[in-house]
């Protein structure tokens, strides 16, 4: 059986609300890194540098400021496997803090080669993006100009939102055969960074809200125009027969989720881990707990392509959904934008960019 089929089975088992006689559509595709930079057009428009570093994936319209307009019309290329998706997705980077106090960025595992059998070659860094719907007429695709943020970069303790963001510790390379649905099982996934070395890397899943107020493309905190379902935040619960939306946010939107795997293999030597027994990884926000994991999103699918895919009643996964156009990783990898802030990104650094002088 193909790995992708196994994953699909695992997800369906892990989320029974997908069942019933409704269709089920899941886009799952890799997006290479567009740039690593210290800008954030959603939270800090016009600011370069912004407070912390991100890895950005998706279209080349990514900029210091991004107008509330149809991004697909501004972009000329995308790093994503679906070539009609000019959206931008960004998340915090992860750094290793050595015993001598210096930091090094932990690279992302190129994800696409692991599951998406229709692609050959590897993405440059990046992550995997999911869009899920319960089938025909179950969700309303985002409108041009739509954007949102999930998670709180300043959070340093459990918000009991493990099913919105979670980490998994892989015991062996290539997922170690472990493809259970993310953020569901409390023994498998944690809301904080894993506390022990992970030979196969650390995976992070970020599940965005699935309910919308039906009116606003954005809100002052970039969150209040969207909401998690009434039965509580739960990855994937906004689709299918489960996950009813609150009356304030009655419109079901696709379940968007990001999946990042960091290759920690060069940093698993306990002799270089903190002497107090804590773990050495830190988000670019200065967060060594992981509770502040967050994700940003600016919608940019061309025309009605996302709606068509979400409405695909056959219950599809991967490249055949809604007749979407695809591109190979080699093409996506070429879609890079220049870094706007000029500073060290990948060497050993005495302080994290933007965190100079902060107690850590």
Ligand X SMILES: *[C@@H]1O[C@H](CO)[C@@H](O)[C@H](O)[C@H]1NC(C)=O
Question: Would residue 272 be called left, alpha or beta, if left means φ above 0 and alpha means ψ between -120 and 50 degrees?
Answer: alpha
The nearest distance, CB 360 to ligand X, in angstroms, is: 16
Nearer to ligand X, 102 or 219 (CB): 102
The nearest distance, CB 99 to ligand X, in angstroms, is: 7
The nearest distance, CB 64 to ligand X, in angstroms, is: 5
* 318 Cβ contact partners less than 8 Å away, ≥ 6 residues apart: 4, 27, 28, 29, 116, 118
The nearest distance, CB 19 to ligand X, in angstroms, is: 44
The nearest distance, CB 48 to ligand X, in angstroms, is: 9
- C-alpha dihedral sign at 166, 170, 175, 177: negative
Q: List Cα–Cα distances, 226 to 134, 247, 304, in angstroms.
A: 19, 12, 21
The nearest distance, CB 291 to ligand X, in angstroms, is: 26
What is the spatial distance between Cα 147 and Cα 134, in angstroms, rounded to a whole number?
22
Nearer to ligand X, 3 or 74 (CB): 74
Pair 220, 91: CB distance under 8 Å: no
Give the DSSP letter of residue 240: T
Pair 286, 355: CB distance under 8 Å: yes
End-to-end CA distance of the chain, in Å?
47
Nearer to ligand X, 63 or 328 (CB): 63
Pair 225, 262: CB distance under 8 Å: no
By the criterion CB under 6 A, which residues form the site for ligand X? Answer: 61, 63-65, 98, 100, 102, 272, 348
Nearer to ligand X, 191 or 296 (CB): 296
* 162 Cβ contact partners less than 8 Å away, ≥ 6 residues apart: 183, 186, 189, 190, 191
* 37 Cβ contact partners less than 8 Å away, ≥ 6 residues apart: 53, 54, 56, 339, 340, 341
Pair 153, 139: CB distance under 8 Å: no
The nearest distance, CB 23 to ligand X, in angstroms, is: 37
Nearer to ligand X, 39 or 132 (CB): 39
Nearer to ligand X, 117 or 272 (CB): 272
Nearer to ligand X, 221 or 272 (CB): 272
Collapse the DSSP code of 88 into the 3-class scheme (helix H, G, I; strand E, B; otherwise coil) and give the result: strand
Nearer to ligand X, 100 or 247 (CB): 100
Nearer to ligand X, 118 or 350 (CB): 350
The nearest distance, CB 104 to ligand X, in angstroms, is: 7
The nearest distance, CB 41 to ligand X, in angstroms, is: 9
What is the spatial distance between Cα 208 and Cα 294, in angstroms, rounded to a whole number?
9
């Amino acid at each position: 059986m193909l790995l992708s089929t196994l994953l699909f089975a695992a997800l369906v088992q892990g989320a029974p609300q997908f069942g019933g006689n409704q269709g089920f559509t899941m886009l799952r595709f890799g997006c290479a890194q567009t740039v690593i930079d210290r800008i954030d057009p959603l939270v800090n428009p016009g600011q370069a540098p912004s407070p912390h570093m991100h890895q950005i994936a998706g279209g080349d319209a990514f900029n210091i400021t991004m107008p509330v307009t149809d991004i697909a019309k501004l972009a000329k290329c995308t790093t994503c496997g679906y070539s009609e998706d000019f959206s931008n997705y960004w998340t915090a980077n992860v750094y290793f803090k050595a015993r001598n106090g210096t930091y090094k960025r932990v690279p992302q595992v190129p994800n696409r080669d692991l599951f998406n059998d229709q692609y050959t070659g590897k993405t440059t860094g990046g992550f995997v993006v999911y869009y899920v719907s319960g089938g025909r007429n179950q969700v309303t695709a985002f409108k041009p100009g739509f954007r949102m943020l999930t998670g709180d970069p300043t959070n340093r303790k459990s918000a009991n939102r493990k099913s919105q963001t979670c980490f998994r510790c892989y015991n062996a390379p290539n997922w170690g055969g472990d493809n259970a649905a993310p953020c569901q099982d409390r023994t498998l996934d944690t809301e904080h960074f894993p506390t022990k070395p992970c030979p196969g890397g650390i995976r992070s899943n970020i599940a965005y809200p699935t309910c919308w107020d039906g009116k606003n493309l954005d809100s002052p905190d970039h969150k209040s125009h969207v909401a998690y379902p009434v039965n509580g935040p739960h990855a994937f619960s906004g689709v299918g027969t489960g996950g009813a939306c609150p009356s304030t946010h009655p419109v079901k939107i696709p379940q968007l989720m990001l999946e990042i795997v960091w290759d920690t293999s060069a940093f698993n030597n306990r002799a270089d881990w903190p002497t107090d027994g804590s773990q050495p990884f830190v988000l670019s926000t200065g967060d060594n707990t992981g509770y502040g994991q967050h994700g940003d999103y600016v919608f940019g699918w061309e025309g009605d392509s996302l709606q068509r895919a979400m409405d695909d009643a056959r219950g599809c996964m991967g490249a055949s959904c809604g007749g979407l156009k695809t591109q190979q990783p080699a093409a996506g990898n070429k879609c890079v934008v220049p870094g706007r802030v000029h500073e060290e990104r990948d060497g050993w650094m005495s302080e994290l960019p933007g965190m100079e002088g902060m107690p850590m």
